[in-house]
């Protein structure tokens, strides 16, 4: 499966727009993502391990409510990490 990154998150993944991960569920894929890019952990997740509210995960274009082990993945799946931008 493929993770896609945009915007400010690119600097935490070495400016790679995509990275490939082999996993059967979203929780395992996120765990592997942490291992590959440990600098992402404090940017994406809070102290409780929950996704910080300004970030959203899209699986094949569909919003993922709670990323956990119950979300199965296929090799062809794409997870996009989006960050809300606020300003005035």
Structural domains of the chain, with CATH: 2-83 (3.10.20.30)
* pLDDT score at 29: 93
* pLDDT score at 87: 60
| b/e map 58-78, b = 16+ CB within 10 Å | ebeeeebeebeeebebeeebe
* pLDDT score at 39: 95
Query: Which phi and psi (to 5°) does residue 60 adopt?
Result: 50, 40
If you average pLDDT over residues 51-73, what whole number do you get? 86
Can you give the pTM of this predicted structure?
A: 0.85
Q: What confidence tens digit (pLDDT) does each residue in 32-49 have?
A: 999 999 999 999 989 888
């Amino acid at each position: 499966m493929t993770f896609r990154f945009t915007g400010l998150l690119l600097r935490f993944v070495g400016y790679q727009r995509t990275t490939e991960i082999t996993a059967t569920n979203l929780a395992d894929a996120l765990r592997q993502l942490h291992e590959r890019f440990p600098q992402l952990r404090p940017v994406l997740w809070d102290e409780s391990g929950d996704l910080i509210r300004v970030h959203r995960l899209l699986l094949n274009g569909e919003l993922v409510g709670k990323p956990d082990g119950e979300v199965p993945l296929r090799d062809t799946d794409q997870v996009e990490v989006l960050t809300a931008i606020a300003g005035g």
